[in-house]
Structures are given as structure tokens and as C-alpha cells.
Amino acid sequence: MAKTGIFHHVGTFLLFAAAILLLITTISAPVIGDIAILKVMLTNKTDIRNSSVTFGTFGHCVLDVAPVQTDQDYCYPKHIGYNPADIMTTIDHTTFSTAAEDSSKALTRVMILHPIACALAFIAFLFALGAGFCGAIFASMIAAVAWLVTLVVMVTDFVLFGIIKRHVNSDGSGSHAYYSVGMWTILAAMILLFIATFIVLFTCCSSRMHRNNRTSKETGYNGTTTTRRHFWQRRNRY
């Protein structure tokens, strides 16, 4: 039972860690400009600065913008869905096909699942804190849903920003796009949720099994414990 309890605490901690990691992805640019899912380093490098574009869940920021002396950042208003292809065309003259631009624009709307997955992971963590059987069952069920949502939005992120990354790095402008912190935190969260779901479910079923084993025994009036026997195994007292 002690080992089962330890494993349950491990699963609970993994759910909390996954929620924090998903929160980091959710508050990426433009909420926090330096946190990005995809980051593009532009070619206007000087001794003082190197401008970059950070793409996040609800929009984008341009960091270290001109003039050179001010070293200032500019983040655009937050909203659900935006057009990263058009942004890179405007800033860096990157060329995109109509299909690539339309696809990337449509996929940004799916990123609303970032905060939803974060909320589900945190709710699963709260249920896992409860010591009861029902709490563990609900925790494992919600964690499974959170994992599925995280998996869907993570695949969407890789496809969406993979389109932008491929076009930026191959257009010959010299700018360099790469996956940043927000992409790796959601990947880590997906893995932790997968592990935590099975750990919490396992400890829940194991605890239930031990409880059933205890109830299968009867305690006599003298305080001794006897094992319940089937009716055909009992002796006739007459």
C-alpha cells in the first residue's frame, strides 16, 4: 500500500508539472514576447541587436525593433487566429503559396486548445490530490482527455509552424526559423500526461484491489482475523 501511495504522488506531481508546461506554451507571445513556439531570427543584425519575430498562441511579437539605440520590442494585440505567413511576407518578404498561407492561417485557430489542455491538466491534478477512489478515477479520466487535447494541438503546432519554418529557411533571405521554448514545453507536457494517466489509473485500480482483499476477510469477536469460506467448505455443526 505504501508503494502504491508513492506512485500516486508521483502521478499527481506529473499532472501538476504538465499543467505548468502547458501554461508556458499558453502565455507565449504576445502575452510574454520572449516566449515563442516558433522564433525567426531576421537578417538585420548589428553590434547592438538582432531583430526577431516570435510566434505564440495568440499572436506574435517583433523583438529588438529599430531604431538601433532603443532596442525595443513590439507585441501585437492578442486574438484567436492570425496569419503567420502574411506576417513573414510583410516583414521578411517570404513567399508562400496560397495553400500554405490558407492552411497556416486556419490552423492557428486550433491553438485555442492550449489553454483548454492546461485547464484540464490542472483539474486532473486537483482531483488526484484527493485520496479517494472516485477522485483518482476522475483524475485519470480527465488526464486522458487532457492528453488527447494536448496531442491534437501539438500535432497542429508542428504542422502549422513547420510550414512557416520550411518557407523561411528555404527562401534565401538569410533569416533563420526554429522551434522555440513553447514547442518543447507542449511536447514535454504531452509525454508527462501520458505517463501520469497510467500511473494514476494503476494506483487507483491497485488500491481498489487491496481494499477488496481486506473486505474478503472477517474479524471474529476475539479480535482474530479469519478468511471467509464458501458455503460448501463449511463444516456442518450438527
Q: 224 lies in a domain?
A: no
pLDDT tops 50 at residue 2: no
Q: 7 lies in a domain?
A: yes
pLDDT at 213: 46
Model confidence pLDDT, tens digit, residues 127-163: 988 756 677 889 999 999 999 999 999 999 999 999 9
% the chain with pLDDT above 70:
77
Query: pLDDT band at residue 222, thresholds of 50, 70 and 90?
Result: very low
- Rounded Cα gap, residues 201 and 128, in angstroms: 10
Name the residue among 16, 11, 25, 1 with its Cα closest to residue 187.
Answer: 25
Torsion angle of C-alpha atoms 58, 62, 183, 101, degrees rounded to 10: 70
Local structure of 94: helix, strand or coil: coil
Model confidence pLDDT, tens digit, residues 62-86: 998 766 556 688 899 999 999 999 9
Of the listed ranges 1-5, 24-28, 39-43, 161-165, the one predicted with least confidence: 1-5
Asked whether 142 and 134 are in contact (CB, 8 A), the reply is no
Residue 75 pairs with which residues in a beta bridge? Answer: 61
Look up the domain containing 159 and give its range. 2-211
Query: pLDDT band at residue 205, thresholds of 50, 70 and 90?
Result: low
**192 compared with 210, residue with greater pLDDT:** 192
Asked whether 121 and 15 are in contact (CB, 8 A), the reply is yes
Question: CA angle, 146 as apex, 187 and 211 as ends, to 5°?
Answer: 120
Q: 226 lies in a domain?
A: no
Cell of 74: 513590439
Q: 238 lies in a domain?
A: no
Q: How many domains does the chain have?
A: 1
152-175 in b/e form (b: 16+ CB < 10 A) is ebbebbbebbebbbebbbeeeeeb
Alpha helix (H) residue ranges in the chain: 2-26, 84-92, 98-107, 113-129, 133-170, 181-215
Model confidence pLDDT, tens digit, residues 165-201: 999 999 888 899 999 999 999 999 999 999 999 998 8
Tell me, what CATH number does 199's domain have?
1.20.140.150
Q: 119 lies in a domain?
A: yes
Report the mean per-residue pLDDT for the chain. Answer: 84
Name the residue among 28, 48, 27, 49 with its Cα closest to residue 39.
Answer: 28
Name the residue among 190, 58, 173 with its Cα closest to residue 111.
Answer: 58
Phi, psi of 94 (to 5 degrees): -75, 135
Q: 230 lies in a domain?
A: no
Q: 227 lies in a domain?
A: no
Q: 201 lies in a domain?
A: yes
- Number of Cβ within a 10 Å radius of residue 225: 9
Mean pLDDT on 217-225: 46
pLDDT at 210: 44
**H/E/C letters for each residue in 171-233?**
CCCCCEEEECHHHHHHHHHHHHHHHHHHHHHHHHHHHHHHHHHHHCEEECCCCCEEECCCHHH
